[in-house]
């Protein structure tokens, strides 16, 4: 059996309603999903013990319920209605009880949600496998740190720094790093993405990852400016964001794919690849939640 199936089995026990959809996405994309779930299962069990599979299943279930509730409120209000940033900091990013289960969900959706599985494909095929040799990589808002760890697993020649504003998320990332065997190549730290090391310097990184961060910022334009400055001429940016997709900590509402695209272009970047995916058919609401990912390069 694939080690990663332990996550699905826990879902079948603890969140039965959500399990068939997750399994269908996994079965239809087994190579790709196992590429994520197998090492994740090894690191998670080594760092937290077998209990982690149930904990992750519970985290995934409460996240999915929260997303559905937030989308209903969004449909009624007609716009995102986020709490103020200080409340999001204290109630989400600094709250270990909220943040740790959220982080398990944030990584599992890449293998369990049809709208995210194409992001995983783009991340592996069009970003990691195309980075220049010995690339220096920055991951902004690394959360759980798993994308950085997978990057190190796939590309042992690269060096990666991951940073996130949330201390409990960085604690998860550090715990997984410790058992992953990648401590020589990967470093994590607690920091605001907009105050990244090198954000004022040019040409510092051959790869930048900004996955599902822009919608968490009150204004994402400075994120694009910093990425446009920091990425080298031969480098790649992997960028993703949520469109018409409400969540408790989504504060910037994108309604069209052209909006992040134009922000990227205004920052001197061009898009070499774009995927935008609504996943499952919409239930007929006025908003269609989508997840968009792009590969960006310096013009
Ligand atoms: C949806 S999670 C994404 C985690 C990971 N990048 C992924 O794709 O699974 C959003 C992350 O953004 C982080 N975040 C929000 N605002 C941030 C900021 N200003 N600087 C750095 N991280 C931030 C949160 O702490 C959280 O870990």
Clarify whether residues 52 and 158 are in a common domain. no
Ligand 1: centre distance to CA 219 (Å) = 14
Looking at ligand 1, which atom is closest to the CA of residue 139?
6
Clarify whether residues 287 and 197 are in a common domain. yes
Rounded distance between C-alpha atoms, residue 25 and residue 164, angstroms: 28
Clarify whether residues 101 and 244 are in a common domain. no
Looking at ligand 1, which atom is closest to the CA of residue 109?
9
Looking at ligand 1, which atom is closest to the CA of residue 193?
20
Clarify whether residues 40 and 178 are in a common domain. no
Clarify whether residues 141 and 269 are in a common domain. yes
**What does the pLDDT read at residue 43?**
98
Strand ranges in the chain using DSSP code E only, listed in sequence order: 136-140, 159-164, 186-190, 205-211, 231-243, 269-277, 290-298
Handedness of CA 253, 99, 95, 66 (dihedral sign): positive
Contact 93, 169 (CB under 8 A): yes
Contact 201, 173 (CB under 8 A): no
Q: Which residues line ligand 1 (CB under 6 A)?
A: 93, 106-107, 141-143, 164-166, 169, 192-194, 211-213, 216-217
* Per-residue pLDDT reduced to its tens digit, 236-278: 999 999 999 999 999 999 999 999 999 999 999 999 999 999 9
Contact 161, 204 (CB under 8 A): no
Ligand 1: centre distance to CA 189 (Å) = 13
Consecutive 10-residue runs of the chain (299 residues): their mean pLDDT? Answer: 92 95 97 98 98 98 96 95 96 98 98 96 98 98 98 98 98 98 98 81 92 98 96 97 96 98 98 91 83 97
| Residue with CA closest to ligand 1 atom 1 | 212
In 3D, which of 99, 90, 109 has the Cα closest to residue 171?
A: 99
| Residue pointed to by tokens 């061009």 | 270
Coil, strand or helix: which one is 242?
A: strand
Ligand 1: centre distance to CA 248 (Å) = 13
Q: State which of 109, 142, 174 marks the end of a domain.
A: 109
State the DSSP string of 193-219.
GGG-TTTTSSS-EEEEEEES-GGGSS-
pTM of the entire predicted model: 0.97
Looking at ligand 1, which atom is closest to the CA of residue 92?
25
**What does the pLDDT read at residue 78?**
96
**What does the pLDDT read at residue 199?**
67
Burial class (CB in 10 A: 0-12, 13-18, 19+), 265: middle
Q: What's the total number of domains in the chain?
A: 2
| Residue pointed to by tokens 């069209």 | 256
Ligand 1: centre distance to CA 168 (Å) = 12
User: Domain with 220 in it: what CATH number?
Assistant: 3.40.50.150
Q: State which of 84, 109, 134 marks the end of a domain.
A: 109
136 pairs with which residues across the strands? 159
Clarify whether residues 212 and 275 are in a common domain. yes
* Domain residue limits at 48: 5-109
Clarify whether residues 192 and 290 are in a common domain. yes
**What does the pLDDT read at residue 115?**
92
| Residue with CA closest to ligand 1 atom 26 | 143
Probe target for ligand 1 pocket from 89, 143, 147, 208, with the most ligand atoms within 8 Å of CB: 143
Contact 218, 38 (CB under 8 A): no
In 3D, which of 128, 282, 296 has the Cα closest to residue 224?
A: 296
**What does the pLDDT read at residue 263?**
98
Clarify whether residues 125 and 195 are in a common domain. yes
Coil, strand or helix: which one is 158?
A: coil
The values of phi and psi at residue 270, to 5°, are: -125, 155
Probe target for ligand 1 pocket from 141, 226, 249, with the most ligand atoms within 8 Å of CB: 141
| Residue with CA closest to ligand 1 atom 15 | 216
Clarify whether residues 94 and 29 are in a common domain. yes
* Per-residue pLDDT reduced to its tens digit, 121-143: 999 999 999 999 999 999 999 99
First to last CA, the chain: 46
**What does the pLDDT read at residue 1?**
62
């Amino acid at each position: 059996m694939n080690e990663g199936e332990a996550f699905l089995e826990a879902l079948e026990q603890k969140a039965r309603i959500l399990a068939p959809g997750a399994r269908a996405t996994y079965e239809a994309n087994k190579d790709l999903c196992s590429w994520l779930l197998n090492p994740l299962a090894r690191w998670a069990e080594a760092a937290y013990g077998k209990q982690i599979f149930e904990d992750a299943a519970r985290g995934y279930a409460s996240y999915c319920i929260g997303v559905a509730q937030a989308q209903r409120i969004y449909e009624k209000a007609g716009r995102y209605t986020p709490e103020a940033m200080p409340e999001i900091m204290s109630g989400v990013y600094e709250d270990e009880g909220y943040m740790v289960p959220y982080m398990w969900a944030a990584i599992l959706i890449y293998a369990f949600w049809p709208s995210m599985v194409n992001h995983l494909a783009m991340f592996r095929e069009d970003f990691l496998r195309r980075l220049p040799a010995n690339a220096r990589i920055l991951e902004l808002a690394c959360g759980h740190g798993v994308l950085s760890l997978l990057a190190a697993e796939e590309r042992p020649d690269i060096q990666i720094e991951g940073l996130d504003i949330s201390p409990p998320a960085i604690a998860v990332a550090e715990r997984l790093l410790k058992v992953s065997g990648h401590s020589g190549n990967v470093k994590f730290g607690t920091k605001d993405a907009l105050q990244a090391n090198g954000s004022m310097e040019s040409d510092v990184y051959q790869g930048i990852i900004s996955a599902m961060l822009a919608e968490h910022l009150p204004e994402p334009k400075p994120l694009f400016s910093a990425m446009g400055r920091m990425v080298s001429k031969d480098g790649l940016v992997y960028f993703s964001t949520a469109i018409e997709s409400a969540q408790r900590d989504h504060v910037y509402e994108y309604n069209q794919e052209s909006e992040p695209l134009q922000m990227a272009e205004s920052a001197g970047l061009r898009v070499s690849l774009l995927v935008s995916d609504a996943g499952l058919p919409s239930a007929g609401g006025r908003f269609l939640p989508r997840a968009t990912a792009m590969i960006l390069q310096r013009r």
